[in-house]
Amino acid sequence: MAFENLSEKLNAAYKKLRGKGRLKEADIKEAMREVRLALLEADVGFKVVKDFINTVSERSLGKDVLESLTPAQMVIKIVNEELCALMGAENAKITISSKPPTIIMMIGLQGSGKTTTSAKLAGYMRKNNSKKPLLVACDIYRPAAIEQLKTVGKQLDIPVFEMGTSNPVDIAKASIKHANKQGNDLVLLDTAGRLHIDDELVDELKRIKAAVDPTEILLVVDAMTGQDAVNASSAFNDALGIDGVILTKLDGDARGGAALSVRAITGKPIKFSGIGEKLDQIEPFHPDRMASRILGMGDVLTLIEKAELAFDEKKAQEMADKLLKNKFTLTDYYEQLTQVKSMGGLSDIAGMLPGMDAKALAGASIDEGLLTKTEAIILSMTKHERENPSVLNSSRKKRIAAGSGTAVVDINRLLKQFEAMQIMTKQMTKGKMPAMFGGKGKKGMFGM
């Protein structure tokens, strides 16, 4: 998880503060020394760290303490606010052109994940902004770059415009005409990258920019390259004037220094972050939510958004009704498992819950093999058996085991798990936690 090491060290520093009734200047200095080391180890730029520590120290010593907070809590509050400010205060959205199409020029170094990110962003904008995107293959140098874009475009059912190895400037200009004819109101130009920034690359990007006048230029940087990502951001911004940054592989960088430095160095906002390899694993970058996660306060808003995407509202209401009436079936049980799986790994979900130790669940996830086995068992049952598991005698179990390629012991294990879940839901719907399921006029978990 991003910022894992930083989060651990910051929380260790705050534990020392919590034990003190009143904070002295020496306590603040000691805590800030720990914070400084934590930020430097997270690969945050030295100047950025220096300015950050100075600001937090000044505010912490300024007696700006609320009556409802202890001095130690106030320091955490100040650090949280300054982390938000460091990363841009609020989510910066993509500018939509008043005259279609909106043209987004995707730039970045080779290996930053530009091509995949272009497809991810196209898919996100189609789903969340009702756009009709067109992907454009302007990278004519990297072997198989065009084929890669066509492959990810096909997976998302998004059209790809390409003209082979023609001049990239001509390809960009022709793609705009094509978009106007086909009614595409969003064009994403996947431009070429290099292993390092050189005059030839910058000149080509400048010519494309001049030819199509993009609505936005988004720089894709690999978060795992740390300060190299920050340096690349600064160089590209000086040469082209970028409008925003997309951080890729943020899920794979335990340090996260790039996210804390890019905004401060370039003055440009981080607009999106890549959080996994799948084509739907991209999300808007919210500085306030990220700051909360760094400080171990969780990120409940993002967790709710993930749940809303994974769980269909109508199905959720039907599920709530079934639970209240104790009519939860094996088919429902399987559907719940697959929907939770679509929200990501357990460690990712845990990182969004306040006070939860995500590291304790590092690498934990729903077993794909177990899901496949569960699906095979349930689908090998008749509808009557799924609705009434109590009818499953030994001969029926043998038939299901043969049909699903499993053993009777696997079926018994599934039935025990299902029975345990039924007992739990019975207890919860008998008045212990009815609001969780939306009873008695309350929205509850399923209406959240």
For domain 303-447, give its CATH number from 3.40.50.300, 3.40.50.12280, 3.40.50.2300, 1.10.260.30: 1.10.260.30
Q: What CATH superfamily is the domain 4-87?
A: SRP54, nucleotide-binding domain (1.20.120.140)
* pLDDT bracket for residue 426 (50, 70, 90): low
Report the mean per-residue pLDDT for the chain.
78
* pLDDT bracket for residue 368 (50, 70, 90): low
What pLDDT is attached to residue 444?
39
Asked whether the beta carbons of 164 and 114 are under 8 A apart, the reply is no
Say whether pLDDT at 110 is over 90: no
- Chain centroid to Cα 217, Å, comes to 21
CATH number of 102-295: 3.40.50.300
pTM of the model: 0.64
What pLDDT is attached to residue 49?
87
Residue 379 phi/psi, 5-degree rounding, is -70, -15
Residue boundaries of the structural domains of the chain: 4-87, 102-295, 303-447
Say whether pLDDT at 402 is over 50: yes
Q: Which two tokens stand for residue 248?
A: 């890729």
* pLDDT bracket for residue 441 (50, 70, 90): very low
What pLDDT is attached to residue 253?
56
Say whether pLDDT at 396 is over 70: yes
Q: What is the pLDDT of residues 269-322, one digit of tens each?
A: 889 988 888 888 898 888 877 777 676 554 444 555 555 555 555 665 665 666
